[in-house]
Structure 1
C-alpha cells in the first residue's frame, strides 16, 4: 500500500553508487515495461489478466486494473465491517502478494508460473482465510461463502 517494494522505479531513485552495478530490465511478467509499482499492480498485462480473473469474486467487477482505482474503491469501504468488504481486502492483498511472488520467482529462480497457477493460489488463499474467520450467520454471509464454495462444516471445523 505504501509503494515500498523494491521495484525498478524505486531502485532508480537510489544514488548512483548504490545502483551502479544494476542493469535495469523489462518487467518479467509481460516483458514490455520496467517493473514499477504502478505497472506491477496491476497495469502489467499479466497482472491485469490475473486481476480481471479474480475481481468478480469480491464484487469488484467494475474496478479497473490500476492500483489507484483499487485503493480508492477500498478506501470508500474501509470502515465497513461487512463480510463482502472483508473479502475484497483479502482478495486485493492476495492478488498483490502472488503477483509479487511470481515476479520474484522469475527474477531470482528463473521459474515461470502460468497465469492459471497464480489465479489458483489467490483463490485458494482467500478461501483458506475465509475458513478461519468467524462471521455472523446471516443469509448474506451464507450466500457470500457459497460463492466461495465454503460450506458451514468447513467454517465450523466439522469437515473439510
Structure 2
C-alpha cells in the first residue's frame, strides 16, 4: 500500500509521534493500522458478523488479499466481495486522518 503511515514517513526522515492515531498505543505501521489495530479489528469483526463469516486475521495485507479473493459466490458477488478490503481500509484511513488532523473521532458503527 502507498499510504503515508508514520512508518513510511519515518523512512523518509519525517519525524512524527510514532503512535497509531486510533488508540495511541502501538507504533503505526501498515500492518498494524490495516489489520491488527483494535479499532480496525472491531470494524472487520462487525462486517464479518453481519455476513456470517468467521476469519482469522492474517499477518500481512498481501496475505489477506490473496485469501480474500478466493471467497464469494457467483461472478457478480465475487466482484463486490473483492471491494470489501479496500472499503474497510479506506474507512480506517479516513478515521485515522479525522483523528490526526481534525481532532474528531467516530464510533465503529458510524464508520
Runs of 4+ in 1 over 3 A off after TM superposition: 56-60
- Pick closer, same or farther for the CA change 1:53–1:69 going to 2, 3 Å: farther
Higher relative contact order (CA 8 A, sep 6+): 2
Q: Please show how residues 1-160 of structure 1 align to structure 2 within 5 Å.
A: 3-14=1-12, 16=13, 19=14, 22-57=15-50, 60-64=53-57, 66=59, 67-76=61-70, 82-118=75-111
Size of the aligned set, in residue pairs, is 110
| Structure 2, unaligned runs of 5 or more | none
Q: Paired residue for 1:135?
A: none
Q: Is the 8 A contact 1:51 1:65 kept in 2?
A: no
| Structure 1, unaligned runs of 5 or more | 119-160
Offset of residue 56 of structure 1 = 4.3
**TM-score (structure 1 length as normaliser):** 0.59
**Cα-Cα RMSD:** 2.4
* Counterpart-to-counterpart distance in 2, 1:95 and 1:35: 17
* Counterpart-to-counterpart distance in 1, 2:55 and 2:80: 16
Rg (Cα) greater in structure: 1
Offset of residue 24 of structure 1 = 2.3
Whose helix fraction is larger, Structure 1's or Structure 2's? 1
Offset of residue 90 of structure 1 = 2.1
